[in-house]
Amino acid sequence: MNKLIVLGVLFVLLMLFRLSSPVDLFEGDQAKQVGYVMDIVRNGDWIVQHETNGKIATKPPLYNWIAP
């Protein structure tokens, strides 16, 4: 019973830490990922995705295929 309480407290602390940390959706390549997925959804380009500026995608397509 004590192990479950300790695990529960650790889980709650971990979740509080994660929820209080900053969100990095606008850092890194998130904008590219969104552009690739939108290219699939809007234009139907399942095989070759393009960035919002028209260049061919530089990221592997598996995540993009799973996202829609």
**Per-domain boundaries in the chain:** 24-68
Residues 6-15 pLDDT 10s: 999 999 999 9
**Are the beta carbons of 40 and 65 closer than 8 angstroms?**
yes
Average of per-residue pLDDT values in the chain: 79
Query: Could you give the CA distance from residue 42 to residue 54 in angstroms, rounded to a whole number?
Result: 14
Quote the percentage of the chain above a pLDDT of 90.
18
pTM comes to 0.49
Return the exposure string of 42-53: e unless at least 16 CB atoms fall within 10 Å of the residue's CB, then b.
Answer: eeebeeebbeee
∠ CA 28-31-32, nearest 5°, is 90
pLDDT of 26 strictly over 70: no
Q: Is 64 exposed, middle or buried (0-12, 13-18, 19+ CB in 10 A)?
A: buried
- pLDDT for 11 equals 95
- pLDDT for 48 equals 80
